[in-house]
Amino acid sequence: MAPSLSSPQTQLPDLLHQLGIPASEIARRGLPVFVEAQDLVVVETLAARGFLLQPRAAQAWWEMQSAAAADGVVLELVSAFRSIERQAELIRRKLDNGLALADILSVLAIPGTSEHHTGCAIDVTTPGCPPADASFEDTAAFVWLNAHAA
């Protein structure tokens, strides 16, 4: 089905322009543009924020989290579904804090190109490890994921 006239995908060029990202940057980097998921379920809540995934991804997360727990490994969600607009908000916040766009795009995907838009991607951590930190590679959770995650 083609996106409606008001879909995030059809608004993407304007959004990129507002952020100062040339639309050609997506092609230059060879990035796919993902369709934003619509059928989402809450998989966890953290404070007032809920983590959303597509139903099959949610089931896979719960099964993986349970299997890890059975092996004594705790996996925690850091991020799940993220809308195209939310991706843009993250970039705007960093721009407002004075970070250079090139530096921001070295750690955040261009809106429209994040697999988080699909509702099938997650970021995980484990207790005692800061989110999105290289030290995760030194944890039992990292070892477990390398051995068990598809």
**What tens digit of pLDDT does each residue of 89-109 get?**
999 999 999 999 999 999 999
Give me the chain's average pLDDT, please: 91
pLDDT of amino acid 132: 85
DSSP secondary structure of 26-95: HHHTT---PPPP---EEEEEETTEEEEE-HHHHHHHHHHHHHHHHTT---EEEE----HHHHHHHHHHHH
Q: What is the pTM of this model?
A: 0.85
Per-residue pLDDT at 58 exceeds 80: yes
Task: Please name each of the domains of the chain with its CATH number.
Answer: 37-148 (3.30.1380.10)
Q: Residue 63: which residues within 8 A CB-CB, separation 6 or more?
A: none
pLDDT of amino acid 11: 87
Neighbour count for residue 36 (Cβ, 10 Å):
21
pLDDT of amino acid 7: 54
pLDDT of amino acid 149: 87
